[in-house]
Amino acid sequence: MPRTGRRPGPSTTRAAILEAARRRFAAAGYDATALRAIAGDAGVDPGVLLHFFGSKEGLFRAVVGWPFDPARVVEPELIRPGREGVGARLARTFFGYWEDPTTGAALSALMRSAMTHAESAALLREFVAHELFARFAGFVHGLDANLRVELAAGHLVGVALLRYILRVEPIASAGIEELVTWLEPALDRYLQAGGPPVSQAE
């Protein structure tokens, strides 16, 4: 079918926006990238971009391939219910996305991509810092609040790597609630404590 002289179809436009956004976000980071600049690169009006992706955050999420909207999860499900039980809620939510075939495959794919492509790693780094970790800023206190959020994230991600990607036993077949019970104290310690770290070992 000849395409010359015809307006590009929606899937072409969407792909052009994603490609322009990927280049801009990877080069300048999320905050320094203007929607207008992406729209210009893709040769569309900024309104088209909002029509496809809803918001700058939505576009960023599509570029990274992140399978859910962190704004709908972090505040309402993890933070708002309060400090009590935050570790268990976080672990349950995290494993919920990994256990679901669709979101689990997406998380697995973006982890693989970030490990093998520098640009994907840069985008994922920017995404998790801006869209996930920063959302805990007002919740986790102290000078090393960001480090502690990343320690909690690192614990969960490493368990996911052994369970879902390396598939080593017995962690690959352990029940979710068993994992939550084990992880809860470590996650609570990272996310709840306000003082300097105190060894809980004998």
| Contact footprint for a copy of itself (CB under 8 A) | 84-85, 87, 111-112, 114-116, 121, 124-125, 128-129, 133, 144, 146-148, 150-151, 153-163, 165-171, 174, 178, 181-186, 188-190, 192, 197-202
Between residues 32 and 147, which has the closer beta carbon with respect to a copy of itself? 147
Closest separation in Å from C-beta 186 to a copy of itself: 4
Closest separation in Å from C-beta 57 to a copy of itself: 18
Closest separation in Å from C-beta 166 to a copy of itself: 5
Between residues 106 and 111, which has the closer beta carbon with respect to a copy of itself? 111
Give the gyration radius of the chain's Cα atoms: 20
Q: Do the Cβ atoms of 59 and 49 come closer than 8 Å?
A: yes
Closest separation in Å from C-beta 24 to a copy of itself: 20
**Other CB atoms within 10 A of residue 98 CB:** 18
Closest separation in Å from C-beta 19 to a copy of itself: 23
Closest separation in Å from C-beta 85 to a copy of itself: 8
Between residues 18 and 86, which has the closer beta carbon with respect to a copy of itself? 86
Report the C-alpha gap between 24 and 9 in whole angstroms: 23
Between residues 52 and 108, which has the closer beta carbon with respect to a copy of itself? 108
Between residues 50 and 88, which has the closer beta carbon with respect to a copy of itself? 88
Query: Can you give the three-state secondary structure of the chain, one letter per residue?
Result: CCCCCCCCCHHHHHHHHHHHHHHHHHHHCCCCCCHHHHHHHHCCCHHHHHHHHCCHHHHHHHHHCCCCCHHHCHHHHHHCCCCCCHHHHHHHHHHHHHHCHHHHHHHHHHHHHHHHCHHHHHHHHHHHHHHHHHHHCCCCCCCCHHHHHHHHHHHHHHHHHHHHHCCCCCCCCCCHHHHHHHHHHHHHHHHHCCCCCCCCCC
Between residues 46 and 113, which has the closer beta carbon with respect to a copy of itself? 113
Q: Do the Cβ atoms of 35 and 24 come closer than 8 Å?
A: no
